[in-house]
Amino acid sequence: MRDLFAHTSACWGKYSEYEWKTTPGGNCYLLPAEKAKTSVYDPMKDSHTLVIDALEVGMMLFRREPESKIKEAIRSFAGKYGLLGIMTALPTTADFIEYEKVYLPKNPFLRNETMETTDYIGLYFPFIQPDFFKIGVESVWRTEDKHEIAFAMTFRQEPQAMAMSFMRNYGERYDWLCKLFKDWTTLAITTQLYVDDKERKDSDAVALYRKSIAAFDGNAPTYHIELRDKPTLVWDFHSLLLDIRFLLCLLLTDNQAPLRLCKHCLKPFIASEQEREYCSDACRNNNSE
């Protein structure tokens, strides 16, 4: 997997702290805290931990833990990795601002196939709208916040909407975040059940899992060629959401070190050739008692 993605454009921005706020209409959003500091990192450098942390949030949703605990887990996840970048992940292209309208493929959040760009952007700025203007394909946005300006400069070669998703007033809905974390965990659980039942030769169950897995699809990362010391394939990830989903699929299908769920505690872990069932010796021993 590392060789396949040796060259990526996957840097992501985050704030040091996030907080929940509720709109007058009752929608709960996660946004950067007022005085939070900013930083940029490469999600690919610790991809295993990123995916496992995402699945552990999803497992909390499956266990139906109290909403307060789930909100704290999602807030902590964001403090470690940033928001998911849903705004750039849903449209057919992260460059949607350059088009007359936003075009949306089938997704679990929005039924409209097209939306006015300003209306779509407004979904992610629930309290203070950005200083953004658009006429046809031409657009401009302004900010005086030094941190937002730093993000804009850092990601100046990326789609404009990507830099906007690092603005301090950008937020993502709680119910949307829960849906994504739970879907990723459902994918991991379904894949493991498929492997287990395939080994038991349960053909009916295997057929069911194959059918249900078809529901998990999404936008693929884009790529381009750069002429470095030789022609080089460079992958583009314009949202953390797409990064996690793609890495999850790679880990679930990895032959040498696949991602599995512990048969005792259901904790996600990276399996080895020697151990494919339990995340630790303690879980193996506890399960055999």
The per-residue DSSP string of 78-95 comes to HHHH----HHHHSSS-TT
Query: Using an 8 Å Cβ cutoff, are 170 and 163 in contact?
Result: no
In a domain? residue 4 = no
19 with 68, same domain? yes
262 with 208, same domain? yes
191 with 167, same domain? no
168 with 197, same domain? no
Return the residue matching tokens 């030789």.
Answer: 230
CA-closest candidate to residue 102, choices 60, 52, 137: 137
- Lookup: tokens for 95: 């460059």
SS3 131: strand
Based on the structure, what is the number of domains in the chain?
2
DSSP state of 18: E
Query: Using an 8 Å Cβ cutoff, are 22 and 28 in contact?
Result: yes
Query: Using an 8 Å Cβ cutoff, are 94 and 162 in contact?
Result: yes
Report the predicted TM-score, pTM, of the whole model to 2 decimal places: 0.88
Q: 243 exposed, middle or buried (CB, 10 Å; 0-12, 13-18, 19+)?
A: buried
Q: Tell me how far apart the alpha carbons of residues 110 and 102 are, in angstroms, rounded to a whole number.
A: 12
95 with 70, same domain? yes
Helix (H) or strand (E) holding 8: strand 8-9
227 with 86, same domain? no
Report the length, in residues, of the chain: 289
141 with 33, same domain? yes
pLDDT digit string (tens) for the chain, length 289 residues: 445 555 555 689 999 999 999 999 999 999 999 989 999 998 888 889 999 999 999 999 999 999 999 999 999 999 999 999 999 999 999 999 999 899 999 888 999 999 999 999 999 999 999 988 888 878 878 888 888 888 888 888 888 999 999 999 999 999 999 999 999 999 999 888 887 776 666 677 666 666 666 555 666 667 767 777 777 667 777 899 998 998 898 898 888 888 998 988 889 999 887 888 888 888 988 876 5
Residue where a domain terminates, one of 142, 176, 210: 176
In a domain? residue 60 = yes
Range of the domain at 110: 9-176
Q: 101 exposed, middle or buried (CB, 10 Å; 0-12, 13-18, 19+)?
A: middle
128 with 204, same domain? no
